[in-house]
Structure 1
Amino acid sequence: MRGAVALQVLLFCLSGTWAQGERGGVRENDITEQGHSEGEESRESDAEQLTTQPDIWTELKELRDMVVEQRVELRNMGARVTASESQVDELQKENSVLETRLSASKSQVKELKGEVDELQKEMVNHRVELSVTMTELQFHKNEVEELERANAALQARVTTSESQVDELKRENTAQAAELSVMGTRVTASEREVEELKGEVEGLKKENKDRPKVAFSAGLTNSGKVGPFNTETQLIYTKVFTNIGKAYSPVTGVFTAPVRGIYYFRFSAMDVRTSAYMGVSLFKNKQREILSNQYNSHGGHQYVSNAVTLELEEGDLIYMHLPSGYGLYEDSNKRCTFSGFLLFPM
C-alpha cells in the first residue's frame, strides 16, 4: 500500500510538470507571433528556453513511459492481489471447514473420554473381582494339589502292588514256560535219543555193508625221475595204506570198487634249477588236474593239490608226468598219491 501511495504522488508531480511545460510552450509561440514585441532581454530569455526545451520534453517523455510501465505493473499487481485475495478466501473457507471438523472431533474425543473413564471404572471393578477370583482359585488350587498328591501316593501304592502282582504273574508264567520248555526238551530229547538210536543202527548197518576204501603210496627211492620225451604214467610203489585193495602198486592205477564220491590228494617235489616240475591227475584217459612249477632258483620246489570226484564203479584214477617235466624222490617220500571213499551213491 505504501508503494502504491508513493507511486500516485510521483504521478501527480509528473502531471504538474507536464502541465507547466505545455503552458511554457504556448507563451513561446505567442512571443514569436507578436514579432519580438518585447526587448532584447526577452529575446535572450526566449532563446535560452528554446535551447533547454528539447531536453525537458525528452525527460517528460521518459517519465511518461515510466509512468505507463508503472501503471501496467500496478494493474498486474492488482490482478495478483485479487488472485491472492481469492486464495485467502478459499483458505478461510477451508479453515472454517477444518474448524468445524475439529469442533466435531473435540466433541467425539470428549465423548470417547467419557466412555474411557467408564471403561476404566469397569476395569477397576473387574480387577477387584478378578483378584477375589484369583484368591479363590489359589485356595482351590492348593486343595487340588493336596488331592493330587494324595492321589499320586495312592497311585504309587497301587502301582507298586500291581508291579508286585505283575512280577508274580511273570514269575509264574516264566516258571510255567520253563516247565513247558523242559517238557518239550525232554520230549525232544527222547525223540532225539530214538532218532540217534535209529541213526546209530543205520550207520552200523551201513558201515557193515559199505565197502571200506582208502590208499596212500609214495613214488620211489630212485632219486631223479624224468624228464621224458613223452608224457609218462607214474607208478607209486611205496604203499603206506591200501584198504580194499583198490589201488595197484604194479600199474599205479586206482579202480573205483563202487559208485560213490571219492577224495584224492597228491604232492610232488624237484631240486633241479631252471626246469619244470609237476604232475597231472587223470580219470579214464582225461586230465582232471595239472599242478606245475618252474624251478628258477634251485633247491626244493613243491606242488600239491586235491580233488573230490564222483566215480562210477570201474572208473580209473592215475597220475602222469608231463613231457619235459622232472621229479625228485628219495626215502623221505615227498611225492605221494592218496585217496579214499567218502560215501557210496
Structure 2
Amino acid sequence: MDCNRETTDPKPTGDRDDGSDDVKPGRTIAFTAKLEICNSYPTHAGPLRFTNVLVNEGHGYRPETGVFTCPLPGFYHFTVHASTYGRAQFMINKNGQNVVSAYHNTLCDRKSQMASISSVIQLSESDKVWVQLWGSPRNDIFSSPDNDTVFLGFRLG
C-alpha cells in the first residue's frame, strides 16, 4: 500500500468553495479512519495518523495530522479498535489531556488480539481529539488485509 496516496474521502476539508463545508446545527458530524498497513508497528510517541479515511462528514478529521477538530459543539462518542500483536499503549486525548487509555500486552500464545477503548466527550468548537501513543519505543498496533485498526467519532443528537 502507498502511504503517500490521497485520502479516500472524496471531498477533503477546503476542497469546496461553494460554502457547503459550513456546519449547521443538526448536521451530521462523523468520521471513520483506518490505519494504513505501512503505518503499522509505530515507533513514535504522539498522535497516531489514521490516513485511510472512509467517512468524514463535517470534515472535522484531518488524516495528515490524525486530529479531529470539533466543528460544532456538543457531546461526541469516540472509539479506537486496535489490532495488536504484543504491547499496545494508546489513549484518546482531548486538547492534550488523557480522557481514557489502554495498555494491552498479548498473552504468551503470541496471537493477534483486539484492544478497544471508547468515551463520550463534551466538546466545544475547535477542541481537538486524537489517538495518542505512549510508553515503550514501539507499539505493536497494526493493520493487515485481515485486521483493521480504526479510529471513529460522531456527534450525538
- Contact 2:47 2:67 survives alignment (8 Å): no
Larger Rg: 1
**One-letter code aligned to 2:99:** E
Q: CA deviation at 1:261?
A: 0.8
- 1:282 corresponds to: 93
TM-score (norm 1): 0.36
Percent identity between matched residues is: 27
RMSD of equivalent CA atoms? 1.8
Correspondence for 1:226 among 17, 42, 49 = 42
TM-score (norm 2): 0.76
Q: CA deviation at 1:223?
A: 6.4
Give the Cα separation in 2 of the matches to 1:238 and 1:331.
13
| 1:270 and 2:84 aligned | yes
Give the Cα separation in 2 of the matches to 1:342 and 1:335.
23
Give the Cα separation in 1 of the matches to 2:62 and 2:123.
17
Q: CA deviation at 1:323?
A: 2.7
Give the Cα separation in 2 of the matches to 1:254 and 1:223.
19
- 2:18 corresponds to: none
Give the Cα separation in 2 of the matches to 1:239 and 1:224.
16
Give the Cα separation in 2 of the matches to 1:290 and 1:222.
24
- 2:122 corresponds to: 310
| 1:212 and 2:24 aligned | no
Give the Cα separation in 2 of the matches to 1:321 and 1:289.
12
Quick check: which one's helix share is greater? 1
- Contact 1:222 1:330 survives alignment (8 Å): no
- 2:73 corresponds to: 259
**One-letter code aligned to 1:246:** G
- In structure 2, stretches of 5+ residues that fail to align are 1-23
- Contact 1:219 1:333 survives alignment (8 Å): no
- Contact 2:95 2:129 survives alignment (8 Å): yes
Give the Cα separation in 2 of the matches to 1:284 and 1:327.
23
Give the Cα separation in 1 of the matches to 2:65 and 2:85.
26
- Contact 1:232 1:323 survives alignment (8 Å): no
**One-letter code aligned to 1:307:** S
Give the Cα separation in 1 of the matches to 2:39 and 2:71.
33
Give the Cα separation in 2 of the matches to 1:247 and 1:267.
17
**One-letter code aligned to 1:254:** F
Counting only pairs closer than 5 Å after superposition, residues 82-97 of structure 1 correspond to structure 2 as none
- In structure 1, stretches of 5+ residues that fail to align are 1-207
- 2:155 corresponds to: 341
Correspondence for 1:294 among 86, 105, 118 = 105
**One-letter code aligned to 1:256:** C
Q: How many residues align?
A: 131
Give SS of 2:65's match: coil
**One-letter code aligned to 2:30:** A
**One-letter code aligned to 2:90:** V
Q: After the TM superposition, which segments of 4 or more aligned residues of structure 1 sit over 6 Å from their partners?
A: none
Counting only pairs closer than 5 Å after superposition, residues 1-345 of structure 1 correspond to structure 2 as 209-222=25-38, 224-228=40-44, 231-272=45-86, 276-297=87-108, 298-324=110-136, 325-343=139-157
Higher RCO (CA 8 Å, separation ≥ 6 residues): 2
